[in-house]
Amino acid sequence: MSIVTSDPSEGQVSGQSMYRDSMSFFEETADLLKLDERVRQELREPHHELLFHITLDIKDRMVRLTEGETIQVGDRFDDLPESHLNPEDYALLANGVVSYRPRLFARSQTSVRDGLIKLFGNNLYRIQLRKPEQFKCYRIQHNNIRGPYKGGIRYHHEVSLDLFKMLASEMTWKTAIGNVPLGGGKGGIRIDPRNYSTDELERISSRFMYKLKPFVGPNTDIPAPDVGTNASTMGHFYRQYTDGESQPHKLRGCVTGKDVRIWGSEGREQATGRGLFFCIEEWLRHQQSPSADKLIAPDNVSYQDVSFTLQGYGNVGSNLAKILVPHGAKLVAVDDRDGTIYNPNGIDPEDLSRHVNAPANVKKSVEGYPKAQKISKDEFWRVNAFMFVPAGLGGVINEDVASKLQVKLIAEGANGPCTREGERVLRERGIEIIPDIIANAGGVIVSYYEWVQNNNQEHWSEEIVNAMLCDAIKSNYNIILDIAAKRPRVTPQNSKMYTLDKPVHIRAAAMALALQRLNSHYVLEGFSH
């Protein structure tokens, strides 16, 4: 199934490889641990790289004329009456294009001449008939020594084989750090989902799973949501995967992150944000306690000085804000793909979510939020706050951004938000980091709970799920803190068997925990011949 590509956009021939970059950090930690060469080779390259295409008919659309085209048509359409479309039969997409159902013309007041129609005031749109479109799809299965491959499905227009290889390997480290019996995988489609209607996305997801089915399954490889996908996407994957099976109830664990009404887990939607919160709470607890052996109770942690800036107001960012702000923290600035806002007096996350998710907000952006001022990206990086939470895409904290940030702490909600150079600058400036492989592990940990519930035909309460997540995140984060500080302890976290002979920086400590857990499997189980 291994497929080699020479497409420069896959990052393999351009000389710039995110995967190679991230694996050089793997090699450094492996050196630190004196990891056996055979184990390194098992972990160095993904087990499988799957790359394929799907083709679908995309619905009829109305595309607004460009300025040049409008000048060309001149006054020929001045007398064309404006059309009024039945709201149930069309969707205005993020790129300004109108996607519509064929029945629209039978149910709306329309006037069309020479394929042009006048909409929303005096704007001319060209009717573009249904056409086939091809999408590039990926699934990387990095490693399954600890259990079935596990990782999200991303729908985004800037994805590549190289990126997915990096993200899949991070899942191998993350599942080991979360200490769940799963491996690492990642995949997705090169698409901007905001430019497709809901029913087009359903067909795209179903087609994707139709092609992926031979390679995934509850005991093989278990997809979950990531950027651009959600519980609804998982529902469509689930239906496509189980359709026609004689015992579909036994396959419920084929995807996680499903809606709770179709066997999703309570608490899964908020899990990544909640896990991130538990790490931040633990970080503050250590800061505010007299010593690592005399920690104050979580209830006594103070959030009074915790102002924070946030990039990304999707699943991870918005859920973190909704948990953190009621504890007393203050959200002062938010940046997303289409806008950046600032309010030094604090932004109410629930109110901001209502703005982002309003039906008229087609870009689902913080842009235009009336209770904050618009600022530039450059101003955003320079906002003075206690903490910055990247919860959008990877690679945003480069050398330049790292030198601008005016914060004490970075809690990595996104995967791989720091570049190597960015991290070097952060370290030089004494800015601390909660690394992604523990900070955003909450999602995969609760995905594991969902998988267990599905396999056993059970349904646990949110209280139980959150309590188990709290314990999983905090105990493993504390082991990482102990490794970083060279502080071997037998109880309560038992970090004794993982600490090294010298203190290391926090990301190396997290990686060291992952690699030691993975290494145990190769050492104790041996290699197959």
Please give the residue ranges that form the binding site for ligand NAD (CB under 6 A).
Answer: 225-228, 272, 311-317, 335-337, 391-394, 413-415, 440, 443
Nearest distance in Å: CB 393, ligand NAD: 5
Nearest distance in Å: CB 441, ligand NAD: 7
- Toward ligand NAD, which CB reaches closer, 90 or 278? 278
Nearest distance in Å: CB 447, ligand NAD: 8
Nearest distance in Å: CB 431, ligand NAD: 20
Residue ranges in 289-428 assigned as alpha helix (H): 315-324, 349-356, 377-381, 399-404, 420-428
Q: And the tokens for 11?
A: 């990052």
- Toward ligand NAD, which CB reaches closer, 156 or 213? 156
Please name which of 72, 177, 239, 255 lies closest in space to residue 518, comparing C-alpha atoms.
177
- Toward ligand NAD, which CB reaches closer, 269 or 482? 269
> How far is CA 33 from each of CA 37, 317, 514, rounded to the nearest angstrom?
11, 34, 11
492 upstream amide cis, omega within 30 of 0: yes
DSSP 109: B
CA distance 385 to 309: 7
Q: And the tokens for 416?
A: 């791989």
CA distance 320 to 409: 15
Tokens 């420069």 identify what position?
8
- Toward ligand NAD, which CB reaches closer, 184 or 317? 317
- Toward ligand NAD, which CB reaches closer, 11 or 228? 228
Nearest distance in Å: CB 457, ligand NAD: 24
Nearest distance in Å: CB 473, ligand NAD: 13
CA distance 497 to 501: 11
Give the chain's largest Cα–Cα span: 83
The catalytically annotated residue of 118, 150, 186, 258 is 186
CA distance 298 to 138: 42
CA distance 270 to 268: 5
Count of Cβ atoms closer than 10 Å to residue 418 Cβ: 26
Q: Whose CB is nearest to ligand NAD?
A: 314
Q: Residue length, the chain?
A: 529
Report the DSSP beta bridge partners of residue 225: 153
- Toward ligand NAD, which CB reaches closer, 9 or 123? 9
Residues 6+ apart with CB under 8 A from 417: 390, 392, 393, 394, 395, 396, 397, 410, 436
- Toward ligand NAD, which CB reaches closer, 476 or 519? 476
Instruction: Clarify whether 186 is annotated catalytic.
Output: yes
Nearest distance in Å: CB 36, ligand NAD: 30
- Toward ligand NAD, which CB reaches closer, 263 or 313? 313
CA distance 63 to 61: 6
Burial of 346 (0-12, 13-18, 19+ CB in 10 A): middle
Of all helices (H) and strands (E), which one includes residue 50?
A: strand 48-58
Nearest distance in Å: CB 126, ligand NAD: 29
Q: What is the amino acid identity at position 443?
A: G
CA distance 233 to 237: 6
Catalytic residues: 186
